Amino acid sequence: QCLPTTDAQVGSRKCFHRNLAIDDPNLHVWRRTTIEAVSGQPGDFSVDLRRLPNIVTDACIDCGLCEAVCPQRTADDRPAIYSEFYDGRVVRTVDLDTCSFCEACREACPVDAIDFAQSPERVTVHAVALLAAVGCEPAPADLVTHLGYGHQHVVTQPELAQILDAWEELASQGQMPAREIVMVQCAGSRDRRRLPYCSRLCCMIALKHAIRLRALFPDMKVTICYLELRTAGVGYENWYLAARRAGVEFLRGTPPEVQFDEHGRPVVEVEDMTAGGKRLLRPDLVVLSTGMVPAQDTGRIAQVLGVDLDADGFIEILDRKNRATETTREGVFICGSAAGPKALVECNTEASAVASEIHNFLSSAGRRSTAPASVDPSRCVGCDICSAACPFGAISLVERPADAPRPAEVKDEGKVAAIDPAVCLACGICAAVCTELAVTHNVSDDHILGRLDVLAAGVDRPVIGFYCQECAGAAISLAGLQRDSYPANVRLVELPCLGRVSALHILEAARRGAAAVFLAGCAEGRCQYRRGDLSA
């Protein structure tokens, strides 16, 4: 069932029938495909892909004979050849990690639809923009072993979802598979030793399952142990109220561990923070509401795409407030739980938003509005200061070509800084920190000094203010709209980022008679170029 409604289940095609995108001739969905490398620049990416064979061809009639004779089983007790829901239809495929290639399925197939001679295929795709939508996955089991996970009477919420499918049949027969169930919230989450963050989905999943259990088995006791229940979303609080009406017990307090008696039955001791005192619960089943972690391949994919990860291992968003669909690399966008756990409705909303952002990007053919910085090899001494200062890793030291000009103090070829125009966002931090004035920015030093000449002319002891065009620029515009005033001797210089200001500019302002110099930029941590506020 998909929150916030209950009209879709894992095996249902309803959502796909509503989605006309699957029939779009310009949309190609490639299963069993991994991204190997990305080269090029925004607007002209070259993406190398590796496609694993499906083994089962389109001639398959889905008779199931192959699945019946398969001797291999996966960890979740599924045959190595199986059916899965994909692209609005059911297809049969082979788990290559489990398959022993005995070919029993091929011999059983009545239409020769199984071909083990297929081999991996490498494909190169050219793209204007890239989108990372790798999602997230349940936390690994080793984070909740202290709560008894691994014991037959302890499961996670995703596992309970599968169990409920079988229990529905038992409910129709009047059978009750368990007398009492205890759900433990924040299992391994909001814990500095394990997952320090809240995964946001766990409380709602627990409420959904608790309501379902009470509907199927009215005599079953369901208890939710929690510290705080977080039902942030339109209509989500109604789920909590519905659970209370259904008879679900809410016990404020979570157990530090789950023990087992001599019969293997769980024993859960909880400190009741509301009533005071300890509660001893002896359920038939303990359900752990574990958190969500980045998808297994997120780190490798981020490295291939050239984007950064945040402190929790998810793909980092450029600005969570204003640029929530952009990553730290221009032309690479992000959507859904790749940036952190999100509910389905949020993922759908972000999908629409990122589609609009990519459309705008495509309409400009990936062309940036500002030119990247460049290095004058005749001035560069290869000191590496600019490379260390660049927030996006766009600068590296390379071997100086033999025919390239070099400063007089550089006696041999040595190293020279090189700026990757595909990565550079033209913030200007490198130009500000370069002691040799070897970096040329679209807002050049001559331009800034020329502005100072004009602004300081004819003003007695001017106050010079350097400000960024983002946060500080917005504040100045707002001040104008509100008709606020400032002294007539204040003169302002707009820059793309406050990190473009160097000590040279401040000294030159003082040399031109400035009584004071002030810097106005983004609040700490809000710079769109990540380090401009701190660099200045």
What would the pLDDT profile of 209-232 be if each residue is shown by its tens digit? 999 999 999 999 999 999 999 998
Mean pLDDT of 424-437: 93
Say whether both 144 and 285 belong to one domain: yes
Mean pLDDT of 429-446: 94
Say whether both 123 and 54 belong to one domain: yes
Query: What local confidence, expressed as pLDDT, does residue 24 receive?
Result: 74
CB 196, CB 151: distance < 8 Å: no
Residue 318 forms part of a structural domain: no
Instruction: Write the DSSP symbol of residue 290.
Output: E
Q: Is the pLDDT of residue 66 over 90?
A: yes
Give dist(CA 48, CA 37) in Å, integer. 5
The structural domain count of the chain equals 4
pLDDT category at 40 given cuts 50, 70, 90 is confident
Mean pLDDT of 367-371: 66
Query: What local confidence, expressed as pLDDT, does residue 15 receive?
Result: 54
Query: What local confidence, expressed as pLDDT, does residue 11 receive?
Result: 45
Question: pLDDT over 70 for what percent of the chain?
Answer: 93
Strand partners, 270: 279
Say whether both 147 and 257 belong to one domain: yes
Say whether both 225 and 327 belong to one domain: no
CATH number of the domain residue 383 falls in: 3.30.70.3270
CB 386, CB 439: distance < 8 Å: yes
Give dist(CA 514, CA 466) in Å, integer. 12
Residue with the bigger pLDDT between 268 and 74: it is 268
Radius of gyration of the chain (CA): 30
Say whether both 219 and 202 belong to one domain: yes
Say whether both 152 and 88 belong to one domain: no
Say whether both 154 and 272 belong to one domain: yes
Residue with the bigger pLDDT between 367 and 66: it is 66
Q: Which of 127, 129, 136 is nearest to 336 (CA)?
A: 136
Residue 300 forms part of a structural domain: no
Give the type of residue at 208.
K
Say whether both 432 and 419 belong to one domain: yes
pLDDT category at 21 given cuts 50, 70, 90 is low
Token pair recorded at residue 404 = 């390239």
Domain carrying residue 487? 445-535
Say whether both 351 and 460 belong to one domain: no
pLDDT category at 42 given cuts 50, 70, 90 is confident
Q: Is the pLDDT of residue 85 over 70?
A: no
Instruction: Give the orientation angle of helix 202-216 with respect to helix 157-172, to 10 degrees.
Output: 10
State which of 422, 440, 458 marks the end of a domain.
Answer: 440
Query: What local confidence, expressed as pLDDT, does residue 370 receive?
Result: 73
Q: What DSSP string describes 231-271?
A: --STTHHHHHHHHHHTT-EEEE---S--EE-TTS-EEEEEE
Residue with the bigger pLDDT between 274 and 368: it is 274
Residue 310 forms part of a structural domain: no
Query: What local confidence, expressed as pLDDT, does residue 87 receive?
Result: 59
Say whether both 83 and 144 belong to one domain: no
Cβ partners under 8 Å of residue 362, min gap 6:
128, 129
pTM over 0.85: no
Say whether both 516 and 388 belong to one domain: no
Say whether 17 sits in a helix, a strand or coil: helix
Mean pLDDT of 32-47: 91
Query: Among 68-77, 148-157, 238-247, 261-270, whose mean pLDDT is lowest?
Result: 68-77
Cβ partners under 8 Å of residue 12, min gap 6:
none
pLDDT tens track for 471-494? 999 999 999 899 998 899 999 999
Q: Which of 248, 184, 258 is nearest to 222 (CA)?
A: 248
pLDDT category at 206 given cuts 50, 70, 90 is very high
Q: Is the pLDDT of residue 7 over 70?
A: no
